[in-house]
Amino acid sequence: MILDLNQKQKRLFNANSKEDLLAYKTFLQKGWGKNCCPFILEFPHEAVPHMIQDKIIHNVILGVKNDKGSY
């Protein structure tokens, strides 16, 4: 197992956050780069990019939100 030194800097992805959407857009164009992925992988997802896609679809397209404002 590889120790993730950036773990304390990771956060939950919020599909309503312009900052998070911009980070995802940058990932699609260039990859995560030196800073690695800034987001925490949430259950039941198996990969961060798929989790983000799912959250964007549910929050933006379908309008499904929970009490925290994100999927």
**Residue 54 is assigned to a structural domain of this protein:** yes
**Residue 42 is assigned to a structural domain of this protein:** yes
Q: Which residue has the higher pLDDT, 2 or 19?
A: 19
How would residue 63 be classed by pLDDT, with cut points 50, 70 and 90? confident
What confidence tens digit (pLDDT) does each residue in 28-57 have? 999 988 878 999 999 999 999 999 999 999
**Residue 46 is assigned to a structural domain of this protein:** yes
Tell me how many domains the chain contains: 1
Beta strands in the chain (DSSP E): none
Q: Compute how many other C-beta atoms are within 10 angstroms of the C-beta atom of residue 4.
A: 11
Helix (H, G, I), strand (E, B) or coil at 39: strand
Q: Token pair 């983000």 is at which residue?
A: 52
Helix (H, G, I), strand (E, B) or coil at 59: helix
pTM for the full predicted model: 0.72
**pLDDT, the chain, mean:** 83
Domain of 53 in residue numbering reads as 8-61
Please report, as a single letter, which amino acid is at residue 62: L
Please report, as a single letter, which amino acid is at residue 63: G
